[in-house]
């Protein structure tokens, strides 16, 4: 693959993810979980919210994702009778 094609594909991928990221806020679930993987980030947000610059996080547990092992999603689409 020549360099020009690789550069074009990289630029297209960059633009795709840039578009996705511009719509995320810290309240977006996926983004929040990834930011808060770093304890320092959790500490900083809590320090700002609580107004305590000396606040330290000793331990944290992030939301866990449990995937369906059979690859199915259960939803109830029927209206109750």
Total number of residues shown for the chain: 81
Q: What is the pLDDT of residue 25?
A: 78
Whole-Å CA distances, 4 to 15, 17, 18? 17, 20, 21
Reduced DSSP (H G I as helix, E B as strand, rest coil) percent helix, strand, coil of the chain, to 5: 50, 0, 50
What pTM value is reported for the model?
0.50
Residue 51: pLDDT over 90:
yes
pLDDT of amino acid 39:
93
The 10s digit of each residue's pLDDT in 5-50 is 888 899 999 999 888 888 877 777 778 888 888 999 999 999 999 9
Domain boundaries, the chain: 3-50
SS3 7: helix
**Residue 36 and residue 33: Cα distance in Å, rounded?**
5
pLDDT category of residue 76 using cuts at 50, 70 and 90: very low
């Amino acid at each position: 693959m020549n360099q020009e094609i690789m550069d074009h594909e990289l630029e297209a991928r960059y633009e795709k993810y840039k578009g996705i990221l511009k719509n995320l806020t810290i309240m977006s679930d996926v983004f929040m979980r990834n930011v808060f993987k770093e304890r320092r980030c959790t500490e900083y947000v809590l320090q700002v919210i609580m107004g305590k610059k000396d606040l330290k996080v000793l331990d944290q547990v992030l939301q866990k994702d449990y995937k369906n092992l059979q690859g199915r999603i259960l939803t109830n689409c029927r209206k109750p009778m």
